[in-house]
Amino acid sequence: MTLNNQAAFDAAQKLFAGGVNSPVRAFKSVGGTPPFIDRGEGGYLYDIEGKRYIDFVQSWGPLILGHANQSVIDAVVRTAKKGLSFGAPTLLESELAELILSIYDCLDKLRFVSTGTEAVMTALRLARGATGRDLIVKFRGCYHGHSDSLLVEAGSGAATFGAPSSLGVPSDFAKLTLVAEYNDLASVQKLFDERGGAIACVVIEPIAGNMGLVPADEPFLQGLRALCDRHGALLIFDEVMSGFRAALNGALGWTRVRPDIVTFGKVIGGGMSVAALGAKREIIDNLSPIGKVYQAGTLSGNPVAMAAGVATLRTLIDTPNIYDTLGARAQRLVGGFAAAAREKNIALQTAVRGSMFGFFFSGKPVRDFDGALASDAARFAAFHGAMLKRGVYLAPSQFETGFISTQTSEAMIDEAIAAARSAP
């Protein structure tokens, strides 16, 4: 059995396209060899060579309680001993749904699915079914999963690899997706002026995490709400990344705007593959089996994943001031990065929303996809490699977001800042 990252990657490339099962893991945009992970403990990762890393990726967000949290592990093991999946209702589904709905009071009901892609795909179908319209509006740089209708001007891995759209997406699908500019209400107004009677919904990451961390402005979100109301369209908040991350109530902790549909993922599974969509009763009851909008999933709401989600959310709900602590540590981390950059006369822009953080090597604030694309990706790649060498694991793409967990200690923040100061 190999104990070398390079050898492991060489072997993986013979087994998988690009050697990975999700593109950004290949380190194409930052260079070098991806470490192959052996285990995670709290705020740390350990690779197969035994090297330890401070983990600011946290499995791309879901591990807000850190790796191998004991309450989550205990819940998973206890539930798995009863059976991994039944394809039938369980009480754990209702328990997790009640926790989510108790926080998101703009929603009446949920539908659990297995992935964020599936959640947003279903939300779009629901919006089209509820309105009887076909067109959707999305924003350049926002990534909503890899379903065909949404791989148009997308962020995340699609941006990382210089392909804002994907081969294999039929042109007729793309024609049903209208693209606007993030934080630019006039671009949305123009689409509604031209096609408003045919637009079913506007879907947005209210806190974009897939072009780097780029929050939406409050007046912009308010304008979207007003446009949707005026034209009879639905507003969808994609909170697959920001839900229970930016605050206990996700983006709703940062805006007064309330959407018609919300999609969830990441944190509500506590590390397991879980996602959901929620809406008011009159909208979500269009889903089968009581409505005519079909959706199904054999493993949706599987008990092991539900147990992990319940254990995670109960901890978040029951721990006083948990988001204040997470936010303060995220602010201190990026503040330290910014100070290190100033010492070297390097321009750096930073952003924090709760336990989410991001930074761009740019001379001006980043408010949209063009701003993200204009940042210095080569400098980011060099910084990423230097930090990885110093035992700090950051997302291997400029167009991703970093995360703080409850197990990210002050000492870890100090070590990461020291690494940034010593990086060339």
The DSSP code for 62 is T
Q: Any idea of the CA torsion for 182, 185, 229, 140, to the nearest 10 degrees?
A: -20
Catalytic residue among 47, 55, 184, 238: 238
Measured CA to CA, the distance from residue 28 to residue 32 in angstroms comes to 8
Element (H, E) at 371: helix 369-374
Confirm if 416 and 54 have CB atoms less than 8 A apart: yes
- Angle at 107 (CA atoms; ends 245, 181), nearest 5 degrees: 60
Stated as kind and residue range, the H or E segment containing 225 is helix 218-231
Q: Is 266 a catalytic residue?
A: yes
**Which residue in the list 44, 53, 104, 143 is annotated as catalytic?**
143
* C-alpha–C-alpha distance, residues 65 and 407, integer Å: 6
CA atoms within 13 A on the CB side of 18: 11
Determine which one of 47, 266, 323, 368 is catalytic.
266
Q: Which of 315, 268, 296 is nearest to 92 (CA)?
A: 268
Catalytic residue check, 238: yes
What is the total residue count of the chain?
A: 424
Active site residues: 143, 238, 266
